[in-house]
Amino acid sequence: MIDKLTDLDEKISHLEGRLSDPSLIADQKAYQKVAQEHSHFSRLQVLYDELDGVIADIADNRELLQGGDDEDEELLEMAREEIEELSVQEKKLEQDILFLLLPKDPNDERNTFLEIRAGTGGDEAALFVADLFRMYSRYAESQGWKVEIMSSSNLGIGGFKEIIALISGNSVYSKLKYESGVHRVQRVPETETQGRIHTSAVTVAILPEADEVELNINPSELKFDVYRASGPGGQSVNTTDSAVRITHLPTGLMVTCQDEKSQHKNKAKALTVLRARLLDQMEQEHHDKISEARKSQVGTGDRSERIRTYNFPQGRMTDHRINLTLYKLESIMAGKIDEILVPLITHDQEEKLKLIQ
């Protein structure tokens, strides 16, 4: 795969030319895509140049060793040590280059829908939905991302039956895509007088936002229902038919939105969520066709899979896919989840490398 780097200069020069094209600058979406591609190849160029230098240094030191007897023994020992150090650098640079050469997930740069739903466990599950949403919101804030609630079902106890949010920003999907699955929580409820640990679960789904041009939805295949919003809310939210339910008739997918006072805004949000779910369904069908490749991933698809346990009495978080255990639960729930996400991304890259080497 390293041979693919031979025309890097030509690719970078071509992309630089496009970036200076006024017609491209006028199209910000297209410009951003080319800029990201330029950044990717520029990073490859830097690594390749570093690798070139390391390989040359190793060759120089080996030539010195082959000179042999006439050289100072201390100098020869230094050359041997340097070869060892440079060999480690060489392997690391090759690995970094290979990671960058892996086929990119076309969704990695997309904004992302975060859907969290209460599962088994009653009120405790609903409360944990709110806890996880707070965790992801704080992480999003640390990344400079924007979080917009699209729909929520508030139970009035500080928890949610479900909450759906759109997270917008740089490379959101690439970092959050491994969060889909069942998240289990073990803790003592506030109402538990005997101090018994209660186990409950919630389901997290991560869906890339779909562009309108990608999914040509026939309006005749959509059924719209409007009704009065329920649950906590402002006066106009609860007294007008502002809530919207959209059903996609061919698939049976249903989306509701009632958070906005305006029926028009609720309809627009519901359509955005529906579009993402339809794209996700198409991709799930595609993944099913290449199940062998899917097995190598750490869990971007199967939402029935129990991926993680949060044990509050022990302050422990365990990700079952990569056997990662951290005794930093308070920090994790505060949104500091890079210590989970980075190992997941690395593991997935390593598994993909095995398939192509």
In degrees and rounded to multiples of 5, residue 170 shows phi and psi of: -85, 120
What is the per-residue pLDDT for 317? 97
Question: What is the pLDDT tens value at each position of the chain, 357 positions in all?
Answer: 455 566 777 888 888 888 888 888 888 778 888 888 888 888 888 898 899 999 999 999 998 888 766 667 888 889 899 999 999 999 888 888 887 877 778 888 888 999 999 998 888 999 999 999 999 999 999 999 999 998 888 887 889 999 999 999 988 999 999 999 999 999 998 767 677 899 999 999 998 887 655 566 788 888 888 887 765 544 444 556 778 888 888 888 888 888 777 888 888 888 888 888 887 877 777 555 544 434 444 544 444 578 999 999 999 999 999 999 999 999 999 999 999 999 998 898 888 877 765
CA-CA distance, 160 to 147, in Å (whole number)? 17
Beta-sheet strand order (sheet of 324-326): 146-154, 160-168, 112-118, 198-208, 181-187, 306-311, 316-319, 324-326
CA 36, chain centre distance (Å):
17
User: Which tokens in the block code for residue 265?
Assistant: 């805004």
User: Which tokens in the block code for residue 84?
Assistant: 């060892």
Where does residue 125 rank: exposed (0-12), middle (13-18), buried (19+ CB within 10 A)?
buried
What topology is assigned to 214-286 in CATH?
Double Stranded RNA Binding Domain (3.30.160)
User: Which tokens in the block code for residue 183?
Assistant: 């998240």
Which 8-state DSSP code applies to residue 103? P
What topology is assigned to 112-210+302-356 in CATH?
Alpha-Beta Plaits (3.30.70)
In this structure, how many other beta carbons lie within 10 angstroms of the beta carbon of residue 302?
14
What is the per-residue pLDDT for 187? 93
Residue spans per domain, the chain? 2-101, 112-210+302-356, 214-286
pTM score > 0.85 for this model? no
In a 3-state reduction of DSSP, which class is residue 32?
A: helix
Q: Which of 201, 195, 205 is nearest to 310 (CA)?
A: 201
> What is the 3 state secondary structure string of 198-218?
EEEEEEEEEEECCCHHHCCCC
Q: Which of 214, 217, 9, 181 is nearest to 106 (CA)?
A: 214
In a 3-state reduction of DSSP, which class is residue 228?
A: coil
Where does residue 340 rank: exposed (0-12), middle (13-18), buried (19+ CB within 10 A)?
buried
Instruction: Give me the amino acid identity at 268.
Output: A
Beta strands 306-311; 181-187: pairing state: parallel
DSSP 302-341: -TTSEEEEEETTTTEEEETTTTEEES-HHHHHTT--HHHH
In degrees and rounded to multiples of 5, residue 150 shows phi and psi of: -95, -35
Which 8-state DSSP code applies to residue 296? T
Instruction: Find the distance separating the first CA and the last CA of the chain, reported in whole Å.
Output: 9
Same fold, 112-210+302-356 and 214-286: no
- CA 223, 224, 230, 232 torsion-angle sign: positive
